[in-house]
Amino acid sequence: MDEARRQLIEEAKERYFQQVCAHWGKFSTLEVWEAAALMNNVSPTALQDIVVNDEGDGLDLSDESRMLISAIEVGELLAHPPNLSPPSDHTNVVVASLIHWLHRRGYVTLADALKLAQDGASASAFVSSQASPIEGALNLTIPLQRMVAQEFAILEKLTELHYKPLALPKNKPGKSGVKAEVKKALGSTGIWEYVTVFDKAWERLLGDGRIVTTM
pLDDT tens across 23-40, in order?
A: 888 888 899 999 999 998
Residues 186 and 134 grouped into a single domain = no
Query: Into how many domains does the chain fold?
Result: 2
Domain boundary among 88, 111, 138: 138
- Distances from the Cα of 49 to the Cα of 16, 36, 55, angstroms: 21, 14, 11
- Both 68 and 94 in a single domain? yes
The reported pTM is: 0.56
Considering the domain architecture, whether residues 76 and 147 belong to the same structural domain is answered as no
Q: Are residues 145 and 159 in the same domain?
A: yes
Q: Quick one: 128 and 155 in the same domain?
A: no
All residues at 6 or more sequence positions from 25 whose CB lies less than 8 Å from its CB, including other chains: 95, 113, 114, 115, 116, 117, 118, 121
Q: Domain boundary at 104, 138, 172, which? A: 138
181 and 149 in a common domain: yes
Residue 192 lies in domain? 140-215
Q: Are residues 108 and 19 in the same domain?
A: yes
Q: Which amino acid is at 20?
A: V
- 133 & 172 share domain: no
Over 60: is that where the pLDDT of 101 sits?
yes
Are 169 and 78 in the same domain? no
Question: 107-128 b/e with 16+ CB inside 10 Å = b?
Answer: beebbebbbebbeebeeebeee
Q: How far apart are CA 162 and CA 183, in angstroms?
A: 15
Q: How far is CA 192 from CA 150, 176, 178, in A?
A: 8, 20, 17
- Same-domain pairing of 144 and 119: no
pLDDT at 121: 57
According to the model, what pLDDT value does residue 140 have? 37
